[in-house]
Structure 1
Amino acid sequence: MSRVLVVGAGLTGSLCACLLRRKMQSKVQITVWEKCHGAGGRMCTSSSPDDPNCTADLGAHFYAELSSHGILRPLLAPVEGMAMTEEGTRNFVAPKGASSIVKHYLRESGAEVHFCRQVTHVQRKGPGWEVCVEGGQAESFDAVVLTVPVPQILQLRGDVPSLIEGSLRQKLEAVSYSSRYALGLFYKAGTQINVPWAMKYFEGDSCIRFISVDDRKRDMGSPSSGPSLVVHTCVTFGLNHLEMAEGEVKTLIMAELQKILPCLPEPTSVEVRRWRYSQVVNVVDGSLGQITLHLSPLLVCGGDGFTNSNFDGCIESALKVVEILKSSL
């Protein structure tokens, strides 16, 4: 049985683990390591510290399967200011939060999942790879899949730098991401958010790009749980304030929010989230969903940086990575 490590418990990583289990079944032992405290990556869902049922999607904005499990359903709530999309495009919402999509795939994979494990080194040891995490712990694997943002791949030590040389390094260094902040505002039960929409995009604002009444978006409001509001900043604001202390950023965003919605009630708590790698602006040129750094033992990179920064791009990358794994293990 081959031991496969998937680094990153976001959409691409969780889907890779799930598809690998379905296609290779008992031939692989799958482990997932995630540096954060929970699954989801940029599809994270946060909860109010006072009410776990009051949630907010602070992350990024196989459909039939997800719909059949109740994880996705068509978006029916009113949206203002959304850019026109291709004819026939359908919009979906995750009733239990965006992270429920990732958690579904992780459950289906049967993988051994560990959080708070930030990989620092990947190096050859015998017939496989020795992977070290911050703090010095190390384990050996027959294959490793890296689904973290491209700049984090470039920071890895061990044998990775020598595998990324010349034109390949230039391609990876050319990948760029937009940066944003997300703010989650949580309210006590019975609070009314008096706006006529569930979501709204704001053109031309120097700070705020998008606001969502998250419980209304998911149609999951409950008398016992309060509403939640999500605010995403625009790309320019994220870039200009990327290194500012989160407390100071929160003050700026809240001041701008007060101008846009002056009658907004006082929240019980506010969470700010910095997304240094929000959406991919320039992907890896010619990667077609993945790049194989080493074939035997296998070390492969995937994620939206190798396709495009949306749900379908992550699916495409996961499918390509699993093809490589099937032919190599």
Structure 2
Amino acid sequence: MSRVLIVGAGVTGSLCACLLRREMQSKVQIVVWDKSRGTGGRMSTSRNPDGTSSLADLGAQYISATQYYAQAHHSIYAELLAHGILKPLEATVEGLRDVDGTKNYVTPAGMSSIAKHFLKESGAQLHFDHHVTSLFRRGASWEVHRKGGEPEKFDAVVLTMPVPQILQLQGDLSDLLAADQRGQLEAVSYSSRYALALFFPPAATVPVPWAAWYVPGNPCIRYVAVDDRKRGQESPDCGSSLVVHTSVPFGLQHQELDKEEVQPIILEELHKLVPGLPQPTSTKCQKWRYSQVLTAVPGCPGHMTLLAEPLLVCGGDGFTHSNLDGCVESALRVLGALKEASVQWEAPR
């Protein structure tokens, strides 16, 4: 049985693990490492720390499927809808552009439920707080090192973290990169963004008529959402939450600051935009150094094979675009590379 390591428990990594299990059944042992303490990557969901059931999506907010991708990825959407992971977005979103044929969906259990579903289907060994630092080629295997732990060997490695983090890895990776590959990876760029969640106690009311609002012309805040209302789950018996996303220029201007320094700035601007907010029981601020892809790898190939044997392949939205369909496209391309490599795994050694 061959060991495959997938680095990153976001949508690309989790779907890749799921598809690999369905294609190769018991021929592979799938291991997923993530440096964070939870699933979802930039489709993350936070729960109110006071123990109430309110959730807040601090990354992606909803799913938009164009006519093309709704057809191309029909099986994925059908599966997520059948399991109740997705449901149609019916709440009012002020400023949302209406694109012909595009369907919008929300996640009743939060955006991270998409990655959780695929990871569960994959049966992968999932490990959090596993921060990969370096990779070394050892014959027909990769020796993967992480912070605070012993290195492990794998027959294939899939890297799905943001491209700048791939380029920071130590070991043999730097020597293996061809000049054109390095140039393509170094050209990938991302926006930076801060997200802030305010959790309110049960029976507290957020005094706005909308579920979400794209704020025009504000230098700090681009988007605000009453998160439970956005998902169609508003209830006076449960605590509510409000999510704020900053603008791209604000993120660029403040990207070197700690989130503790930025949170008061966001709160001050929020109270100007939405006066009369109830007192939150808790808040959580998230800094996304790599938020959405501004410039992807040319041609959006979905993946890049850095070495064919032993296989080392990269995937993620840096090779496509930053939404669910971009992650699906990348996972499918990575799966193709893994299936090709499986021929070598099954050959006598």
**Cα offset, 1:223, TM superposition:** 3.7
- Which of 78, 82, 85 aligns to 2:92? It is 78
TM-score, normalised via structure 2 length: 0.92
Name 2:237's counterpart in structure 1.
Answer: 224
Aligned length: 328
Name 2:206's counterpart in structure 1.
Answer: 193
Distance 1:287 1:310 in 2: 13
Are positions 1:206 and 2:219 aligned together? yes
CA contact (8 A) 2:134 2:146 kept: yes
Q: Which amino acid aligns with 2:90?
A: L
Name 2:5's counterpart in structure 1.
Answer: 5
Q: Which amino acid aligns with 1:18?
A: C
CA contact (8 A) 1:211 1:231 kept: yes
Name 2:70's counterpart in structure 1.
Answer: none
Are positions 1:252 and 2:265 aligned together? yes
Post-superposition Cα deviations, 1:63-101, rounded to whole Å, max 9, x if no partner, equal: 11000000000000011011232x110000000000000
Q: Which amino acid aligns with 2:121?
A: E
Are positions 1:324 and 2:344 aligned together? no
Compared with structure 1, are the counterparts of its residues 133 and 52 closer, same or farther at alpha carbon in structure 2 (3 Å cutoff)? farther
Name 1:45's counterpart in structure 2.
Answer: 45
Are positions 1:181 and 2:220 aligned together? no
Name 1:118's counterpart in structure 2.
Answer: 131
Q: Which amino acid aligns with 2:192?
A: S
Name 2:27's counterpart in structure 1.
Answer: 27
Name 1:167's counterpart in structure 2.
Answer: 180
Name 1:147's counterpart in structure 2.
Answer: 160
| Superposition pairs of residues 60-99 of structure 1, within 5 angstroms | 60-61=60-61, 62-85=76-99, 87-99=100-112
Determine helix, strand or coil for the equivalent of 1:132. Answer: strand
Cα-Cα RMSD: 1.0
Name 1:15's counterpart in structure 2.
Answer: 15
CA contact (8 A) 1:143 1:297 kept: yes
Name 2:68's counterpart in structure 1.
Answer: none
Distance 1:84 1:189 in 2: 33
TM-score, normalised via structure 1 length: 0.98
Distance 2:160 2:59 in 1: 17
Name 1:290's counterpart in structure 2.
Answer: 303
Post-superposition Cα deviations, 1:165-200, rounded to whole Å, max 9, x if no partner, equal: 312111111100000000000000000111111011
Are positions 1:56 and 2:70 aligned together? no
Q: Which amino acid aligns with 2:89?
A: L
Distance 2:277 2:162 in 1: 36
Post-superposition Cα deviations, 1:143-176, rounded to whole Å, max 9, x if no partner, equal: 0000000000000011111122312111111100
CA contact (8 A) 1:174 1:282 kept: yes
CA contact (8 A) 2:190 2:293 kept: yes
Determine helix, strand or coil for the equivalent of 1:293. Answer: strand
Q: Which amino acid aligns with 1:113?
A: L
CA contact (8 A) 1:37 1:116 kept: yes
Determine helix, strand or coil for the equivalent of 1:219. Answer: coil
Distance 1:203 1:162 in 2: 47
Give ranges in structure 2 of 5+ residues lacking alignment. 62-75, 343-349
Post-superposition Cα deviations, 1:35-85, rounded to whole Å, max 9, x if no partner, equal: 000110000000111124111000123111000000000000011011232
**Cα offset, 1:327, TM superposition:** 1.2
Distance 2:170 2:258 in 1: 28
**Cα offset, 1:136, TM superposition:** 4.5
Determine helix, strand or coil for the equivalent of 1:113. Answer: strand
CA contact (8 A) 2:199 2:280 kept: yes
Q: Which amino acid aligns with 1:78?
A: T
Distance 2:97 2:8 in 1: 31
CA contact (8 A) 2:144 2:152 kept: yes
CA contact (8 A) 1:58 1:183 kept: yes
